[in-house]
Structures are given as structure tokens and as C-alpha cells.
Structure 1
Amino acid sequence: MSADRHARTMLPIPDLPAPGLTTFDARDPDTSFPPIEPLLPPEGAPNVLIVLLDDVGFGASSAFGGPCSTPNAEKLAAGGLTLNRFHTTALCAPTRQALLTGRNHHSAGMGSITETATSAPGYSSLRPNTKAPLAMTLKLNGYSTAQFGKCHEVPVWQSSPMGPFDAWPSAGGGFETFYGFIGGEANQWEPALYEGTTPVEPPATPEEGYHLTEDLADRAIGWIRTQKALMPERPFFAYLAPGATHAPHHVPPEWAEKYRGAFADGWDAQREKTFAKQKEMGVIPSDAELTPRHAEIPAWDDMPEELKPVLEREMEVYAGFLEHTDHHVGRVIDAIADLGILENTLIYYIIGDNGASAEGTPNGAFNEMANFNGMAALETPEFMLSKMDEFGSPTSYNHYAVGWAWAMDTPFQWTKQVASHWGGTRNGAIVHWPAGIAEKGGLRSQFTHVIDIAPTILEAAGLPEPTMVNGVQQSPIEGTSMLYAFDAPDAEERHDLQYFEMFGNRGVYHRGWSAVTKHRTPWLLMEQTAALDDDVWELYDGSVDYSQARDLSKEDPDRLRALQRLWLIEAVKYNVLPIDDRTGERLNSDLAGRPTLLRGTSQLLFSGMGRLSENSVVSVKNKSFSVTAEITVPAAGANGVVIAQGGRFGGWTIYFHEGRAVFDYNVLGIHEFVTRAEEPLAAGTHQVRMEFAYDGGGLAKGGGVSIYYDGELAGTGRVGATQPMIFSADETTDIGYDSGTGVSSEYTPQTSRFIGKIAWVQIDLGLDDHDHFIDPDERMRIAMARQ
């Protein structure tokens, strides 16, 4: 191996002029310059593929003893190493930020999800420029880089079509290629996609067989093949982060049908089966104990008999979803093998970015937005039964019940969000690298954490940790390379201290021992939590208690106190303080102290604007509001969408049908309240206005609707109820069309384009001033005053 001539601790690597003779004439025989050599990593640096699944618990995948078949994960494990003490942060965006920086989530500014960011350094959702992402480091060292799938690390006020794009994967994130979605989840059938920073539509419809996971795999395969065809000497870093298996649980029906009847015994029995299988496979120690069910989690036998068929179907759909995801991950791995480069490709297959999700209520959900809006009671057992055959389909936005999440975290306590216990943070992981790992099918039980992946990849590539990136001095990487254990199964673990925290749930691991305290239950959104100082701490000896089954806090209070102090020291070191267990306050940007794109009570929008997230549009929830549009109607009459917010599973839209203006308020895809103008609007330029007069008296109330043509009343109606918190996690606001899924059942996104011209659309909040026409000069004055 030749010596590396580059000084790689400063990135970009400085260009240094070559000393020597400079001739006057290029024909001079002494004219000589070294050939231009493309920048490459050190010789032997491997290709890298990281696969990060979403919301998969430790006990879900068959590779870790679970009921969901994942043959490609099993195959990878048979040729590599299984990590059975690998940890995440208990929530998606924090885990991803930690993975991509090698730093703890609070240290990298991502103490929770971006939607609940505050101005506190550990919770701002802003990655400090002193913590450059791994992809940037690899790109500046000569790697080709690409990300496919989920990116939930963009601050909400930077997620509009105008950016800024510093936190987007293909801008400041270091990925030369990005194809995927921005946010926490996506409709698998009709996602809101971006290529780089440009919104794009899916290449096909659900009716044509489209599914996001397959699309992402296709894109990853195409990119890897192209990269090796054009740059075979250059290694790649590919990051595949499917939206699966985060809710909504969407999968073609034949995959769910494979599991028909498999979960009739319920979640308590499933934990017993999984636990036995885990011991049989050796992925957990033979002396491990199965932790009991907590009182907050209902027993299967206590669930209503009439609901059990629905509960079974929820889990059948989820199991099919996970198997379907593993199938498409396998296609990417097979493509690498077909290119003959699997030998020197370092693959991390991380089966979950946190524990299984318990955000689906005790009964599960046909539309998970019902729970997020505090309206889960609308989904009665009768309603759920009527929708049972639609679970997983494009007409659903489904999630499984809390009990299934708990079962998928076997053998541990609790679930996603509960960072105190291993059920929230211990995820199955597999590493495969034939050129760098001699053992096939081995097990590694050293404590590891998601922040360890970045330093492992750098060491495997022979690259130093950078001290300067883009002119900014870097803080040290906080993870520990795992390379030491790849060929040393009994090596003493090097990552022997790690804190955990999420929404007040907290814990610390130190040299085999863990001290933990659960502060909040994920599915009790309105839960009144105890004071932080009143939380009860537990103590576990991991050297003899793999699953945290035996609390030793009473037997060894001195050790518990020492670990509590250690947690506090780590919390101060990594910006965990002040602990923030607030819920509603953090959704209000003013109270949370984060920037907002919007000020005041009026917003002006223009034709063609779209993919505006809820954070990019003034909130019309729980208040009166009006929408006014200046449009030009063609001779044939108006048709199509003027403005739409949300989609099939909740939102509102103003559109024209057969020439008449229509206002449709869609509550969770369960109720549609439609108001129509009595007459078509004549050809020419007009103002169309909709006024909604909120009833008041609390959240989610209804109200009266009035439609005006040029200030004259054209129709009235009523909305019986509204959504008080959120319309959608992935649907957006569009002017002149409706992207994603359609709010109204009367049009489709493909037929939603407005026929005619839209000059502007203005949303105004608050009580109507009884002037139903906006003077153009006044509108412009207001618009200019807000610049």
C-alpha cells in the first residue's frame, strides 16, 4: 500500500502548488507538470452502505427471533456479525442526527424531533457547524455519497421550498444525491418526494403498483450501478433510510396475507413465543428473563372481543410491511453482490431507529391522525371493523395497537420514546464486511451506540477524524469505533459510558450497570407527569440481567446514587439540561422560542406555490378564518382546486366543480362537510371568498360557512367539527392543484389542476369585518407592510 500524500485532517484538503521550474513556452522540453489526479480515499477504503429502518423493535425481525420474516437480514447476519447490544436514542430524528454526526443527539442539537424544537442548545434542531456530518467528511475525502429515503433533520422553519437548505441532505448534509422525503413519516402509496431540493411527483400511482420502499430501492440500485460504471475506482457511501416501518403501515395486500391468522393468540402470547425463539437462536443470553407487562399496557385477554379481529389485522399488516421492506433491502444488497463488490462493502443493517412505536393508542388506528388530534374516540370498534379490509391500503393511514409495540420490543420493557429502558433504545443491528471481518455468523455483545458508526467507518476507510471542515474547527466525535471487536469477540468493550434522555425519560449505562427512570408514557399525550425530582429510579446489573428484569435499587442505593450523579454530569456535558418534558407548549413556536416563517394574521399566496408544510402556512385551527382568491374564469367555466391544505386523511380545500365554488372540510377522512355555491361563476375576473365562522367554546368545534362571489353571498353551509392540532404529517398546502392525496373525494390529484388563472390567494385569521371584498390597493399595502 502506497503512502497517502494528503493531509486529511483539514477539509477540504488544501490545494498546494507544486514547486519547481516554470517555463515560458509550453513546447520547452523542460515543461513538466504532474498529471491531474482525482481525489480518492486511501487505498483499500471500502464502499459503505447504511440501511436504517424506522420504528422496528428488537423483537420484531426474524433475525432477532421475531415473528416478521426478514430473510435478507438473516442472510447478512450469517455472513457477518450480529450486534445484540446496539443502541439508539429512542426517537427518529435524534437517532439520525447522532448517526450522521457521530455525536450525541443533544450535543448535535436534536434533543427531540424538529417539530418540538426550542431555543435551548440541546433542543434547537440546528446541527452546530462544529459537528460536520459523516457524509461531508467522506465526500471531501473522495467518496461518492447518496441518501435515499427519510430525512427528519431539517428544522421546520427551513423546510419550505425556499429553504435555507443548509440542513438538507444534498446541500449542507454532504450527500451529492438525495431522493426521498423531508419529515417524520410519509404516505407509502403517495409520498411527497424531493430530488435534491426540488419537489417531484412519484413515477407511478398506487393503481399502477407504486410503493415508496420499492421506489427507494430502485433509485439506490440505479445510483450504485451508475457510480460503479462511471467511477469504479472511487468508493461510495450510500444511506438507505426507508420510511418503513413507521406508520402509516402501508403494504401490498399479498404481503399481509402471508400472516393471516398468525397473531390470533394476541400480544402476551407473542412475547412468549418470541422470547423462546430468541433464546433458541442465541441472540439473547440463555439466562435472560422476560420482563412483565406494565399496568399501562392492556392484556390481550382484556381487549373487547369484537375488536380482536381488527387488532389481529393490524399486526398482520405490520408483519407484511416489515417483510416487504426487508425484501427490497435485499434487492439493494443483491445488486452490490452482482457488481462483484460485496467483499469490500461495509454494510450496517440497523433494524430500527428506536423501539417499536406505541403511538397508535391501545386500540390501534385506521387513521393515526385521530389520536394526534385527541379524536381517537371517533374510531369506534364498529368503525374499525367496517374498515378492516382496508388496513394497509391507499385508503388507510393505519397504526397498530400499543400491545403489539410492546410485543415487538421483546424481551425488554417499554417502547419508542422511553429512553430509560432498553425497549426504547436497544435495536437489532447487523454488520457485514467480508474483507474486514473474518468470522461469519458471529455474535458481538459489547455495548455499542449509534454514535459509534461514524468513527467505525472513518477507521475502516483509513481516514482521520477531521479537525477543520469548511473553515470551522470541529469538536471531537463522541462515539467509539467498533472496529476493535470485529475480529475479537471477547474484546473488552470500549464504549462503557452512555447517557439516554427523551421527554424526561432518562437513563445512564456505565460498565455493565444501568440506572433508569421512566417519566412519561408515550401514548398518554395529555398525561400529567410527576415532577422530575419525584421520578423513581431503577438499577440493573447488565452483567447478569440482559433485559433489565431485576431492579436492584433497594439492594444497592449507593451505586444508584453514583449513577444518578453520573447521568447529571453527562447531561451537563452534552446539553441535555434543562430537561424539557413539555408537550403543547413546544408545538407553539413563540413559546418554544424557535423561528417561524409566519407573522401576523394574514398570508398571501400565489398560483403554482405548493409543497408548503403546515409550518409554512398560518394556522386556521380552532378559529374563524377567511380565504379570498382572485381568479379568472375561462369561457368554458372554472374547474379544479384553488387552494388545498392536507389530504385524504384530514384537511380543507376550496375548488370549483361544474363551475361552482365548493368548500370541503375533511375531518380525518371520516367526515366530509361540503358547502357549495348555488350558481356557477361567470367567465371573467372575480374574487371568490370563503368565510368560516368558528363556534368557539373549545377545541375542534364546528362553524358556519359562507361563500361569496365579488362580495355577494353565493352559498352557505356548516362544518360539524374541525381538526384541532394537525392535518397531516406529510401532506401540504398547494395553490392551483392538490398534491399527494386529494382532500375531497370529488377530484383526484391528477384531475385537480385549476382550469383558469389564479392571481393570488389570501388567508386571513380572526373574525370577519363584514367586508366581503378585498380592495386590491389595500391588499398590496398589507402585503408590502409584511415584507
Structure 2
Amino acid sequence: MNPDRHSRSMLPIPDRPAPGLTTYDAKDPDTAYPPIEPLLPPDGAPNVLVILLDDVGFGASSAFGGPCATPNAEKLAAGGLKYNRFHTTALCAPTRQAMLTGRNHHSVGMGSITETATSAPGNSSLRPNTKAPLAMTLKLNGYSTAQFGKCHEVPVWQSSPMGPFDAWPSAGGGFETFYGFIGGENNQWEPALYDGTTPVEPPATFEEGYHLTEDLADRATSWIRTQKALMPEKPFFVYLAPGATHAPHHVPAEWADKYKGKFAGGWDAQREQTFARQKELGVIPADAELTPRHAEIPAWEDMPDELKPVLEREMEVYAGFLEHTDHHVGRVIDAIDDLGILDNTIIYYIIGDNGASAEGTVNGAFNEMANFNGMAALETPEFLVSRMAELGTPSSYNHYAVGWAWAMDTPFQWTKQVASHWGGTRNGTIVHWPSGIEEKGGLRTQFSHVIDLAPTILEAAGLPEPTVVNGVQQSPIEGTSMVYSFNSPDTAERHDLQYFEMFGNRGIYFKGWSAVTKHRTPWVMVGGTLPAFDDDVWELYDGSVDYSQARDLSADDPERLHGLQRLWLIEATKYNVLPIDDRGAERLNPEMAGRPTLIHGNSQTLFAGMGRLSESSVVSIKNRSFSITAEVEVSASGVNGVVIAQGGRFGGWSLYAKAGKAKFVYNVLGIHEFATEATDPIPAGTHQVRMEFAYDGGGLAKGGDVTIYYDGTAVGTGRVGATQAMIFSADETTDVGYESGTTVASDYTAERSRFTGKIHWVQIDVGIEDNDHFIDPDERLRVAMARQ
């Protein structure tokens, strides 16, 4: 093996040409220069494929005893290792940023999701430049790098079309290629996609057989083949992060139908079945105990009989979704195998970025946005029964019930968001690397954490942890390489201290023991009373004899518990966890949270062609009166199409023209559609079209009266019966002159949404009375100056 001639602790590697003879004439026989060689990592550095699924609990995949068939995970495990004590942070964005940097989530500013960022260092959603991501380190050492799928690490105020793009994967993230979506979730049938930083439309429609997971697998497979065709000497780092199986649970019906009748016994029975299977497989110890159901989670037998068919279908759809995801992950692995490079490719298959999601209410949801808006009561059992056949289809934005999430976290307590207990943080993980792992089908029980992936990859590649990246001195990686465990199943664990915290749920692991306290319940999003942090009740578990945290020893060993509580506080101080922040609505308000915002004042002017504007990029019209005014130019033949629309099929509003007439539609959760239409067409020429909404007041989510004006003259009135208080969508955006994604109104499709006239400008005003119902040039100047 040739010695590595590069000094790799400083990145980029400094160019240091060797001194020597410089001739005057290139034809001189003494003219000699070494050939230009591409930068490569050390000899033998493996290809790397990291697969990170979304919202999959420890007890979901068949590879770890669950009911959802994942044959490709099983096949990979049969040729590699299963880790049954691998941990995440209990939430998506924190897990992803921690994994990609090798640092704890608060260390890289990702104490929670970007939408709830604050100005506190541990919750800012800003990764310090002293903590460069793994992809950047690998790229600067000669790897080809690409990411496909979900990126939820971009601060919300940097997610508009103007960036800045420092935190996007293909800019500051170190990935040369990115194809996927920015945010926490996406519609699997009609996703909002980016190629690099450029918005793109899906290559096909639902009717043509499109599904996002398949698209991502296609892209990853094509990129890997191209990379090996053109740069076979360079290893690759591919990060495949499908949005699956995060809600909405979208999957072709034939995949869900495979599971018909298999969940008729309910979630309590499913826990028992999974637990038995886990012991049979040996993925949990023979003496492990099944933790009991908490009172907050209803028993299956207590659910209404008329609702049980819906609940069964929710789980059938989810199981089909996970099997479908595993199938397409398998296609990527097969492509690597077909290229003959599987042996020297280290594959991490992390089955979930946190525990199973309990954000779907105790009944599940046809549209999960109902719960996020505190309006879950709209989805009555009768409503859910009436829409059961649509679950998983493009007309749904569905999520399963809390009980199923709990069952998918067998044998542990609790779920996603609950960082205190293993149900929120323990995720089955498979590592496959024939060139570096001797045993096939082995089990590893050493404690490990998602921050361990980065140092593992660096060690496997023979690369040092960089001390300087892009001129900035780096802080040490906080994870522990797992390479020591690859060929030593009985070696003592090296990662023996780890804190956990999410929304006040917190815990500490130290040398086999864990002390934990659950502070809040994930599915209680509106209302509820939280205890003071000092009043939280702590539990104590001895992991050496209690794998599943089933026997609370806090009363038996209070001294040890107190010691671990102090240790949690020390670690929390070290890694920017403090101050603990359990606030809800306050953190959604940028001014109260202390994060930047693109919105200033009560007015905003937009222009034709602007689109893919996230909700945080547009002034909020929720829970108050507002007006939308557009100056448009219309030909004598009339006009059709969208002037401006926010949201989509599952909640939002749209001002558009139909058969020449202005029309306003407010869509509440895809359940109610309130329409107001002008009596007359928009006249030919240049005119102001205005919609005013007079909010009823008296609380959140109330209705109001609608009036449509042409040049200040009323031409139509209507009524909106209710509104959405918190959020329209996690993935749909605001567009001017067209509508991308799904459409707010059923009058048009995205393909036919283009406004056929000309839009000069659109102005949104909130809480402002304009008695002439018209915007004159002076008013427009005032708005422009107020935003400087």
C-alpha cells in the first residue's frame, strides 16, 4: 500500500507544489512535472451508503421482530451486523444534524426542529462553522458525495428561494448533488422537490405511477452508476433519506392490501406478538420484559367498535408503506451489488430517525394537519369511517393512531419526541461491510448513538478528524467510532455516557444505568398543563439486567438516581441544552422565539412568478382580518387561473379567476371548502381585484365574511365558516400566478392553474382597514418603505 502523501488534518488540503528545476523551453529534456492526479482518499477507503428511514419504531421492521416485512433489511443483516442498542435523539431534524456532524444535537444548534428554533445556542437551528459536516470532510478528502431525500436542517428563515443556501445540502452541507425536499415531511404523490437549490416538479404524476420513494431510489441508483462509470477510482458517500415512513402515510393500495386482516387483534395483541418474535430472533435478550401500556394510551378493547375497521386500515397502510420503502431501498443496494462493489461499501441502514410517531391522535387522522391546528374533533368517527377507503391515496394526508405507534416501539415505553425513554430513541440499525466485518448475521449489544456514525466512517476510510475546515478551527467530534465493535462482539462498549433531551423530556445513560423523566405527551399539542421541571418525576433503570426499562428502581436506589440527575445537568451544561425549553405556541412566533423572519410589518408585496414560498416566508393571515389585492391586466377575451394561492388540498386559500370572474376559496383541512364568487367578470384592461376577509374574532380558528371588489366596488360576498389557526401545510407553499403541488380549490388542477392575464403585483395586508377598498400609489410606496 502506498503511503498517503497528503496532510489531511487541514481541509481543503493545502496545495504545496514541490520546488524543482523550472526550464525555459518545454522541449528541454530536463523538463519534468508529475502528472496531475485527482484527489483521492487513502487506499482502501470504502464507498459509503447511509440509509435513514423516518419515524420507524424499534418494533416495526421484521428485521427486528416487527409485523412490517422488510426483506432487504433482513438480507443486509444476514450479511452484516444488527445493533440492538443504537440510539437517536427522539426527533427528526436533531437526529439528522447530529448524525451528519458527529456532534450532539444541541451542540449543533438543533435542540428541536427548525420551525421551533429560538435564539438560544442549543436551539438556534444554526450549525456552528466549528462543526463541519461529515459530507464536507469526505468531499474535501476526495469522495464523491450525494444526498437524496429529506433535509430538515435548513433554518426556516433560510428556506425561501433567496436562501442563503449555506445550510442546504449542496451548498454548505458538503454534498455535490442533492435531490429531495426541504422540511419535515412531504406529500409522497405530489412532492415539492429541489434539484440542488432549484425547485423542480416531479417527473410524473400519480396517474402515471409516480411515488416519491421510487423517484429517490431511481435518482440514487442513476447517480451511483454514473459515478462508477466516470470516476471508478473515487469512492462515494451517498445519503439516502426517504420521507418514508413519516406521515402522510402514502403508498400504492396493493402494498397496503397485503396486510388486510393482519391487525384485527389491535395494538395490545400486536405488542405481544412482536415481543415474542423479537425473542425468537434474539434481537432482544431472553429475559427482557414487555413494558406495560400507560394510561394515556387507550386499550384496543376500549376503542369504539365502529372505528376499529378504520384503525386496522391505518396500520395496514403504514405496514405497506414500510415494506414499499424497504423494497426501493433494496433496489439501491442491488445496484451497488450489480456494480461489483458491495463488498467494499459500508452500509448503515438506520431504521428510523426516532421512535414511531404518536402525532396522529388516539383515533388516527385522515389529515394530520387537523391535530396540528387543534381541530382534531372535526375528524369524527363517522367522518373517518366515511373516508377509510381513501387512506394512503392522494386525497388523504393520513396518520395512524397513538396505539399503533406504541405497538411499533415494542418492547419499550413511549414514542417519538419522548427522549427520556427508549421508545423514543432506540432504533434498530444494521451495518454491512464485508471487507471490514468478518461475521455475518451477528448481533452487537454495545451502546451506540447516531453521533457515532461520523467517526466510524472516518476511521473506516483511514481519515483523520480534521482540525481545520475552510479556515475555521474545528471542535472535537463528540461521537465514538463503532469500528472497535465490528469484529469484537464482546468488547466493552466505549460510548458509555450520553444525555437525551427533547421538549423537556430528558434522560441520561451512564455505564449501563439510565435515569429518565417524561415531561410532556407528544400527541397533546393544544391545551394541557405541564409541570415545573423540578416537579418532574424521575425513574431509574439498570440496563445490565433490564433491557427494556421495565423495572423502575428509583425508590430502591435514590442515591444513584440523584447522582445521575446531577450528571445530566453537567452534560446539559456542556452541550448547550440549557435553558430547557418546553414552550409550544411561543416558539412558533419568530419575534417571541428570537429568530430572524422574512416578514416585517402588516403588509407584503409579491410579484408574478414568485413561488415555493414556505409559510414562514409569507405574512400570516391566520386568526385575523386580512385583504388580498392584485393589480391585473385582462384581455377582452377574459381570464382564468390563479392570482395567488397558499397551501393546497389539505388546507389553504386561493384567489383566482374562473370563466373571467374572481373567486376566493378557503379550504379547511380538506374537509370544508368555502367559496365566494364575483357576480361579474373582471373587466378588460388593468384593474385591482381585491378580496377582504372580516374575521369574526372571539378566539382562534373562527370564521368571517368575505367581500370581493373590482377597483373598490363590491362585486360579491360570501362566508367562511371556520379557519385554520396554526398551520396550513408542512410541505405546500405560496405561489403567485399559478399553484404548485396540490390545489386549494377543486375548480382547477396545478397544470391548468396558470393565470392567463398579467399580474403587476399582489399585496397582502393584515389587520389594516382600507375604507376605499383600493390601494393607491402612495399606499404602495408606504408598504415598500416600511419593509426596508
**TM-score range relative to shorter protein:** over 0.9
Separation (CA, whole Å) in 1 of partners of 2:774 and 2:451: 57
DSSP-derived class of the 2:686 partner: strand
DSSP-derived class of the 1:632 partner: strand
Mapped pair 1:545 → 2:546: yes
**Equivalent residue, structure 1, for 2:771:** 770
Mapped pair 1:486 → 2:486: yes
| Paired letter, 2:353 | D
**Equivalent residue, structure 1, for 2:723:** 722
DSSP-derived class of the 1:750 partner: coil
Alignment map for 1:20-169 (pairs within 5 Å): 20-169=20-169
Contact 1:451 1:478 in 2 (8 A): yes
Shift of 1:527: 2.0
**Equivalent residue, structure 2, for 1:592:** 593
**Equivalent residue, structure 2, for 1:669:** 670
Separation (CA, whole Å) in 2 of partners of 1:552 and 1:716: 66
| Paired letter, 2:87 | H
Separation (CA, whole Å) in 1 of partners of 2:170 and 2:786: 34
| Paired letter, 2:60 | A
Shift of 1:784: 3.5
Separation (CA, whole Å) in 1 of partners of 2:93 and 2:285: 31
Shift of 1:371: 0.3
| Paired letter, 2:401 | A
Shift of 1:422: 0.2
Shift of 1:753: 0.6
Separation (CA, whole Å) in 1 of partners of 2:697 and 2:207: 42
DSSP-derived class of the 2:628 partner: strand
Structure 2 unaligned residues grouped into runs of 5+: none
777-786 vs 239-248, which deviates more?
777-786
**Equivalent residue, structure 2, for 1:692:** 693
Contact 2:285 2:547 in 1 (8 A): yes
Shift of 1:635: 2.3
538-547 vs 628-637, which deviates more?
628-637
Q: Deviations over 1:490-510 (max 9, x none)?
A: 011000000000000000000
**Equivalent residue, structure 2, for 1:260:** 260
Contact 2:604 2:783 in 1 (8 A): no
Shift of 1:776: 2.5
| Paired letter, 2:647 | G
**Equivalent residue, structure 2, for 1:387:** 387
DSSP-derived class of the 1:748 partner: coil
| Paired letter, 2:676 | T
**Equivalent residue, structure 2, for 1:411:** 411
Q: Deviations over 1:570-623 (max 9, x none)?
A: 000000000001111101111100000111000000000000000000000000
Shift of 1:26: 1.3
Shift of 1:119: 0.3
Separation (CA, whole Å) in 2 of partners of 1:785 and 1:306: 56
- TM-score between both structures, scaled by the size of structure 1: 1.00
Mapped pair 1:203 → 2:206: no
Contact 1:693 1:767 in 2 (8 A): no
Shift of 1:166: 0.4
| Paired letter, 1:616 | S
Separation (CA, whole Å) in 1 of partners of 2:713 and 2:590: 37
- TM-score between both structures, scaled by the size of structure 2: 0.99
Number of residues of Structure 1 aligned to a counterpart in Structure 2: 787
DSSP-derived class of the 2:666 partner: strand
**Equivalent residue, structure 1, for 2:625:** 624
Q: Deviations over 1:311-346 (max 9, x none)?
A: 000000000000000000000000000000001000
Separation (CA, whole Å) in 2 of partners of 1:702 and 1:590: 26
Contact 2:688 2:710 in 1 (8 A): yes
Mapped pair 1:554 → 2:545: no
**Equivalent residue, structure 2, for 1:473:** 473
16-25 vs 223-232, which deviates more?
16-25
DSSP-derived class of the 2:478 partner: coil
**Equivalent residue, structure 2, for 1:614:** 615
Contact 1:313 1:391 in 2 (8 A): yes
Q: Deviations over 1:47-78 (max 9, x none)?
A: 00000000000000000000000000000000
**Equivalent residue, structure 1, for 2:750:** 749
Contact 1:90 1:419 in 2 (8 A): yes
Alignment map for 1:351-366 (pairs within 5 Å): 351-366=351-366
Separation (CA, whole Å) in 1 of partners of 2:302 and 2:782: 62
Separation (CA, whole Å) in 1 of partners of 2:772 and 2:346: 66
Separation (CA, whole Å) in 2 of partners of 1:25 and 1:564: 74
**Equivalent residue, structure 1, for 2:784:** 783
Shift of 1:768: 2.1
DSSP-derived class of the 2:454 partner: helix
Separation (CA, whole Å) in 1 of partners of 2:48 and 2:777: 57
**Equivalent residue, structure 1, for 2:308:** 308
| Paired letter, 1:159 | S
**Equivalent residue, structure 1, for 2:522:** 522
**Equivalent residue, structure 2, for 1:655:** 656
Separation (CA, whole Å) in 1 of partners of 2:772 and 2:153: 43
DSSP-derived class of the 1:749 partner: coil
Separation (CA, whole Å) in 1 of partners of 2:293 and 2:34: 69
Separation (CA, whole Å) in 2 of partners of 1:558 and 1:592: 37
Shift of 1:781: 4.0
Contact 1:539 1:553 in 2 (8 A): yes
Shift of 1:29: 1.4
Separation (CA, whole Å) in 2 of partners of 1:157 and 1:767: 25
Query: Which portions of structure 1, spanning 4 or more consecutive aligned residues, are displaced by more than 2 angstroms?
Result: none
DSSP-derived class of the 1:455 partner: helix
**Equivalent residue, structure 1, for 2:178:** 178
Contact 2:108 2:128 in 1 (8 A): yes
DSSP-derived class of the 1:214 partner: helix
Q: Deviations over 1:118-161 (max 9, x none)?
A: 00000000000000000000000000000000000000000000
Q: Give the aligned CA root-mean-square deviation in angstroms.
A: 0.6
Alignment map for 1:183-582 (pairs within 5 Å): 183-525=183-525, 526-582=527-583
DSSP-derived class of the 1:96 partner: helix
Separation (CA, whole Å) in 1 of partners of 2:636 and 2:406: 60
| Paired letter, 1:607 | A
Shift of 1:209: 0.7
Contact 2:447 2:495 in 1 (8 A): yes
Separation (CA, whole Å) in 2 of partners of 1:767 and 1:682: 27
Q: Deviations over 1:227-281 (max 9, x none)?
A: 0000000000000000000000000000000000000000000000000000000
| Paired letter, 2:282 | G
| Paired letter, 1:613 | S
Shift of 1:773: 1.2
Q: Deviations over 1:26-58 (max 9, x none)?
A: 121111111111000000000000000000000
Contact 2:601 2:786 in 1 (8 A): no
For the structure 1 residues 605 and 492, does the alpha-carbon distance in structure 2 shift closer, same or farther, using more than 3 Å as the test? same
| Paired letter, 2:373 | N
Contact 1:626 1:768 in 2 (8 A): no
Separation (CA, whole Å) in 1 of partners of 2:162 and 2:603: 19
Separation (CA, whole Å) in 1 of partners of 2:108 and 2:180: 22
Contact 1:691 1:768 in 2 (8 A): no
Contact 2:356 2:424 in 1 (8 A): yes
Sequence identity percentage: 83
| Paired letter, 2:447 | F
Separation (CA, whole Å) in 2 of partners of 1:204 and 1:760: 32
487-496 vs 677-686, which deviates more?
677-686
Separation (CA, whole Å) in 2 of partners of 1:339 and 1:252: 30
**Equivalent residue, structure 1, for 2:604:** 603
